[in-house]
Amino acid sequence: MPPSSGPSGTSPQPGETEPTGYAADAADAADAAPPRASRPVVAVIPAKDEADRIGATIDAVRGLAVVSRVVVVDDGSTDSTSERAADHGATVVRHEVNRGKAAAMATGADAAVDLVGRGRDHLLLFVDADLEASAAALVALVGPVESGEADMTIAVLPPQRRAGGGHGFVVRLARGGIERLTGWVPTQPLSGMRCLSRAAYVAGQPLAPGWGVEVGLTVDVLRAGLRIVEVPCDLHHRVTGSDWRGQVHRAAQYRDVARALVRRGR
């Protein structure tokens, strides 16, 4: 792990998520932090139009003994994602319009504070909504953070059952940018499945907007002098295809990742 590349605290850039009540509550949590093993784990699942998969994902996560609560942030779905999530026992917070992944993660993190009680330390487990039963493998992310070995863990996925339609442009941009800014070379820089300590989440404030959130978190956590561990997890999800929708999605990813890197390179 490289040494810290410098302080991560910078003024919020246009379009980035402003610091929320979660960060404001950090000082109280530090004063009243219980022993590591007793820290509750709140799973946060950002979701948009995932009615067909969200139930199985929630069931798998709720089946993990380490997870205390499950929060689904419905980010402007037009289907029955919210209803399905509630039926499967999740706490549901809804955005009436789509605000992007980073905003959904921030909403979920704020909801976690309310669920566990303000001033109480806890871990955040971010989960993709389309993992279905394979989400049970996310248990491997919690241990290193709970024990203090890591401040953030990142899931490394196996080859997926169906190949995606991309050419690796976004992955190469993200990996090269993270290496340039921190000296660390991630295996899967865009992996969204992560477990974070409170300190790691606060270090990432303000979150990089949209699809740049994972790259921004990685850079900010390392620059704060915190530790990241990548953990192999047998996770499987829907891959983005090669049709026009897939190409539009990748273009948005590339844009958001590039913005996150440029803003952190100043």
pLDDT at 237: 78
- Flag whether 4 is in a domain: no
- 72 touches 93 (CB < 8 A): yes
- How many domains are there within the chain? 1
- Flag whether 59 is in a domain: yes
> What is the DSSP-derived secondary structure letter of residue 14?
T
- Flag whether 6 is in a domain: no
- Flag whether 84 is in a domain: yes
DSSP state string for 34-102: PPGGG--EEEEEEESS-TTTHHHHHHHHHT-TT--EEEEEEES-SSSHHHHHHHTT-EEEEESS---HH
Mean pLDDT by 10 residues, the chain (266 residues): 38 52 56 55 98 97 97 98 98 97 97 92 97 97 97 92 65 96 97 97 96 97 98 83 61 93 88
Give dist(CA 204, CA 214) in Å, integer. 10
- Flag whether 81 is in a domain: yes
* Integer-rounded Cα radius of gyration of the chain: 17
Neighbouring residues of 251: CB distance < 8 A, sequence distance ≥ 6: none
CB-hemisphere CA count at 13 Å for 253? 22
**CATH code, domain with 178:** 3.90.550.10
- Flag whether 152 is in a domain: yes
Q: Is 230 helix (H, G, I), strand (E, B) or coil?
A: strand
Give dist(CA 216, CA 251) in Å, integer. 18
Give dist(CA 83, CA 90) in Å, integer. 10
Give dist(CA 177, CA 167) in Å, integer. 17
- Flag whether 10 is in a domain: no
Task: Calculate the CA 176 to chain-centre distance.
Answer: 20
Question: Which residues does residue 69 pair with via DSSP β-bridges, in sequence order?
Answer: 42
Element (H, E) at 196: strand 194-196
Question: 204: domain range?
Answer: 26-264
- 44 touches 125 (CB < 8 A): yes
- Flag whether 33 is in a domain: yes
Task: Calculate the CA 232 to chain-centre distance.
Answer: 16
